[in-house]
Amino acid sequence: MQREVLRMERVTYKEQDVTYLQNFELNIYEGEIVGLLPINAYGLPAFLHVLRSNPPLYYGYVYYMDTLVNSWQGMKRSSNRISIIGGQSSLVEGQSVLSNIFILRPGFKQEILRMNLLKKQLQPFLDDMNLSISPDTLVEQLTAFERVMVEILRAVVAGSHLIVLLEISTIVNDSEIARLHEIMKHYADNGTSFLYASPHFEELLQICDRAAIMTDGCIVKVLSGDQMKPDTLLNFDSEYDMRVRRTLHIWSDDNTQKVVFEAKNITGQYIKGLNFQVYSGECLVIQNLDNRIFHELIHILTGNEPMAEGTILVEGCAVKPCKNRKMAVVLERPGKTMLFKPMSYLDNLCMTIDERIPGVWMDSKIRKSIRLEYSKILGDDVFDKKIDDLTDIEKTELVYMRIMLQRPDIVFCVQPFKGMDMAHRMRIRELQEMFLVHGIAVVILTINMADALSLANRVIQIKENTVLTEYEQKDFSKLPLTVPWHSLYHTGS
């Protein structure tokens, strides 16, 4: 007999008359690791909301631990003890690991805190995970991997029977993922179930027993057994797959070997003496194996944090990051972080063109001609929309096109594919290809290389304080990764 932890039976969920989940059906057994592959992101936030908070349903039933916890026919509802772990930390900052795991958990009723006893109780769990963290460490001092571990530990201690992991590979690196999988298997053997959401089927194949395919707010298929192999889903991403295969190696010969960007001896709080070069028209992927370095590097490149030491050279001239239009940065989730809502679409588009065309803000004719030119690419409708009314893809297009207008020599893209569905990832790839076609070097800063690698000419891995390894395109097969199209890197075809 299988013990069912979660069962969602024909759930239809609406918010303000918009249907987010339609006949959603999913079941998870005790001790099972189930993958969730969202082909598009539609309905995913609603699914998580239904899973945890039991909002009123339009139709359907939700069972947790074989008990009906939510139904369309109205009932008393409370939250389910399900933990969701993703990019954003749910730990309470300013509090220690110990406090987050024991004291702040629901149901903790001790009036007098016996810290030594709690530490003793925590130690076996930490040993179990082979984790060497002091219980008194403040959570903001933890690395991303340690934070994920602490959140899993907190869920286990709080008695969550189901833990949801959202795109974990975008926050922890490959070696840490391997450790995470071991720990997941360990807890799954002890009866905890996991729902592992990732947009990459290859990633799910590494750890999951079954995989649910979600599209447009509905589970269209649950794959198991012999179906858990990469070929099964070729139909779904065939367009993307063909595009990648077609363009996999076309950028390699365009490299002119002219250095457009050089980081010399960059030093900060965590980064010590980092050096790397970027050539004109190339795509370089920088994989950061240490999360703190990753964030510090982004802060340095965006000019939010000064370097303690070092120089950044663009075309041989020392520049202050982002004070120079020759270099641009596309932040993570640019649609949310790089657009100005009170401004019009056209003004957002022209924002960084002032160095190329100084009179742009004075002369409306220039802006009109820009609109005329770019409406051929972006469509005319978008120019009349408010920023809030744009779709996610339209927002991303706006940011990338703004940079295209700016015409920098180099663009840094921070985790460009994180949290994006397939259609969005495909469009981002097209936009990055457009930069390369125009001779603009693209540097992708990422933790997960699944999509980025297929566009790259070179990969450098950074760990602790230095460039750990550098791979040319011909050596990509040596990368210790399970990424899409990995087999193609062997043959070079």
Binding segment toward another protein, per CB under 8 A, in 9-17, 42-50, 192-200, 400-408: 9-17
Nearer to another protein, 3 or 336 (CB): 3
Task: Report yes or no: 251 and 56 within 8 Å, Cβ to Cβ.
Answer: no
The reply to whether 257 sits near another protein by the rule CB under 8 A is: no
> Which of 211, 233, 353, 360: binder of another protein (CB under 8 A)?
233
- Name residues contacting another protein, limited to 46-85 (CB under 8 A): 56, 58-59, 61, 66, 68, 71-74
Structure tokens at 216: 């447009």
DSSP string, 345-368: HHHHHHTT-TTTSTTTTT-HHHHH
H or E element, residue 344: none
> Which of 211, 219, 286, 329: binder of another protein (CB under 8 A)?
219
Structure tokens at 328: 């641009």
Task: Report yes or no: 326 and 315 within 8 Å, Cβ to Cβ.
Answer: yes
> Which of 2, 116, 491, 493: binder of another protein (CB under 8 A)?
2
> At closest approach, how far in Å is the CB of 419 from another protein?
23
> Which of 121, 232, 255, 267: binder of another protein (CB under 8 A)?
232
- Residues in CB range of 76: below 8 A, 6 or more apart: none
Number of residues that bind another protein (CB under 8 A): 36
Binding segment toward another protein, per CB under 8 A, in 133-141, 217-225, 300-308, 359-367: 217-225
Binding segment toward another protein, per CB under 8 A, in 1-9, 44-52, 161-169, 478-486: 1-9
Nearer to another protein, 219 or 440 (CB): 219
> At closest approach, how far in Å is the CB of 7 from another protein?
8
Start-to-end C-alpha separation, the chain? 48
The single-letter DSSP state of residue 57 is: P
The reply to whether 42 sits near another protein by the rule CB under 8 A is: no
**What are the φ and ψ backbone dihedral angles of 164, each rounded to 5 degrees?**
-105, 125
> Which of 179, 221, 371, 407: binder of another protein (CB under 8 A)?
221
Helices (H), 19-114: 44-53, 97-98
> Which of 16, 78, 235, 491: binder of another protein (CB under 8 A)?
235
77 conformational bin, left if phi > 0, alpha if psi -120 to 50, beta if neither: beta
Question: What letters, b where the CB count within 10 A reaches 16 and e where it falls short, cover 283-304?
Answer: bbbbbbbbbbbbebbbbbbeee
Nearer to another protein, 111 or 226 (CB): 226
Nearer to another protein, 71 or 348 (CB): 71
Task: Report yes or no: 447 and 223 within 8 Å, Cβ to Cβ.
Answer: no
> At closest approach, how far in Å is the CB of 66 from another protein?
4
**What are the φ and ψ backbone dihedral angles of 415, each rounded to 5 degrees?**
40, 60
Nearer to another protein, 81 or 179 (CB): 81
Task: Report yes or no: 489 and 210 within 8 Å, Cβ to Cβ.
Answer: no
How far apart CA 376 and CA 401 sit, in angstroms, is 12
The reply to whether 216 sits near another protein by the rule CB under 8 A is: yes
The reply to whether 236 sits near another protein by the rule CB under 8 A is: yes
Nearer to another protein, 229 or 336 (CB): 229
Using a 10 angstrom Cβ sphere, with 0-12 exposed, 13-18 middle and 19 or more buried, the burial of residue 64 is buried
Sheet holding 193-197, edge to edge: 82-85, 162-166, 193-197, 33-38, 210-215, 218-224
Using a 10 angstrom Cβ sphere, with 0-12 exposed, 13-18 middle and 19 or more buried, the burial of residue 446 is buried
Nearer to another protein, 23 or 344 (CB): 23
How far apart CA 80 and CA 28 sit, in angstroms, is 15
Q: What character string, x for contact with another protein (CB under 8 A) and - otherwise, covers 11-40?
A: -x---------xx-x-x-x-----------
H or E element, residue 188: helix 174-189
The reply to whether 220 sits near another protein by the rule CB under 8 A is: yes
The reply to whether 218 sits near another protein by the rule CB under 8 A is: yes
> At closest approach, how far in Å is the CB of 134 from another protein?
41
> Which of 21, 37, 165, 213: binder of another protein (CB under 8 A)?
213
> At closest approach, how far in Å is the CB of 221 from another protein?
5
Sheet holding 309-314, edge to edge: 274-279, 259-267, 309-314, 317-318
Nearer to another protein, 207 or 233 (CB): 233
> At closest approach, how far in Å is the CB of 188 from another protein?
17
Binding segment toward another protein, per CB under 8 A, in 5-13, 325-333, 399-407, 484-492: 5-13
Using CA of residue 155, residue 159, residue 165, residue 166, what is the dihedral sign?
negative
Binding segment toward another protein, per CB under 8 A, in 127-135, 158-166, 216-224, 257-265: 216-224
How far apart CA 54 and CA 77 sit, in angstroms, is 6
Residues near another protein (CB under 8 A): 1-4, 7, 9-10, 12, 22-23, 25, 27, 29, 56, 58-59, 61, 66, 68, 71-74, 213, 215-216, 218-222, 227, 232-233, 235-236
